[in-house]
Amino acid sequence: MIKTLPAIVAALAGVVLIGLALWRWHDHGWGSLIWLIALIAMFVVRTPHSLRNRANVVTQARKDATEITLLAGMFLTTMVLPLLYLATDMFDFADYAAPDWTVWIGTLAQIPFLWLFWRSHADLGRNWSPGLEVREAHELVTDGVYDRIRHPMYAAIWISALAQPLLIHNWIGGFLVVPAFAAMWFIRVPHEEAMMRARFGEAWNAYCARSGRLWPKRYYDGAPS
């Protein structure tokens, strides 16, 4: 109860903000409507995995101040600040002007983003967690969208983060996610890879030898490792 009450209050606040933002989308241009639809699609993709993976038994978790700060930064810049901006007038002073084609590029980017976001959750399955964790019976996934790159979910989030300031023309509600996710990427990925190496040893090293972090390695010939 102590844990669920704040979660219920936060969820209700989120629903109210999303409702207000949807109601007022024309105040901030059609890019804000595309961003809201993509946010809802993200929830639809992620929620079944979050619910199912709550049953996981976690054997190792990295929840230090750095990890908590990075996750809080992402929560603020991908949800709280954009929704506050779209639902109210409080950050209007930080608007910037951008041409309409930026909104088109941001919109087109939602297609690879949502596809990769969906596939990476589907391929990781029970092994996915929002924080850095290893679960009991954790399996190393090296197929599907994980075949040639090790961080397809972060690749998807990169696309989404870079598209957000193209859809929402505001330094606080749109742009801030770029430095927040850059910090997440540069600080978290080495920790995550070290955790995976400690858990999977040679299998992880062999996977690294044939895959890239975000881009496939050029010499990889498709032979199974």
Contact positions vs ligand SAH (CB under 6 A): 120, 124, 127-129, 132-134, 140-141, 146, 151-154, 192, 196
Q: Which is nearer to ligand SAH, 18 or 145 (CB)?
A: 145
Comparing every residue's Cβ against ligand SAH, the nearest one is 153
CB of 62 to ligand SAH, least distance (A): 8
Residue type, 197: R
Tokens 């102590």, residue located:
2
Q: Which is nearer to ligand SAH, 12 or 217 (CB)?
A: 217
Buried b (16+ CB within 10 A) or exposed e, 23-41: eebeebbebbbbbbebbee
CB of 142 to ligand SAH, least distance (A): 6
Distance separating alpha carbons of residues 98 and 124, to the nearest angstrom: 37
CB of 110 to ligand SAH, least distance (A): 18
Distance separating alpha carbons of residues 15 and 164, to the nearest angstrom: 20
CB of 107 to ligand SAH, least distance (A): 23
Q: CA 150 → CA 89, 112, 210, distances in Å?
A: 40, 17, 10
Q: Which is nearer to ligand SAH, 144 or 179 (CB)?
A: 144
CB of 80 to ligand SAH, least distance (A): 21
The most distant pair of C-alpha atoms in the chain lies apart, rounded to whole Å, by 55
Q: Which is nearer to ligand SAH, 78 or 107 (CB)?
A: 78
Q: Which is nearer to ligand SAH, 45 or 153 (CB)?
A: 153
Tokens standing for residue 211:
């895959």
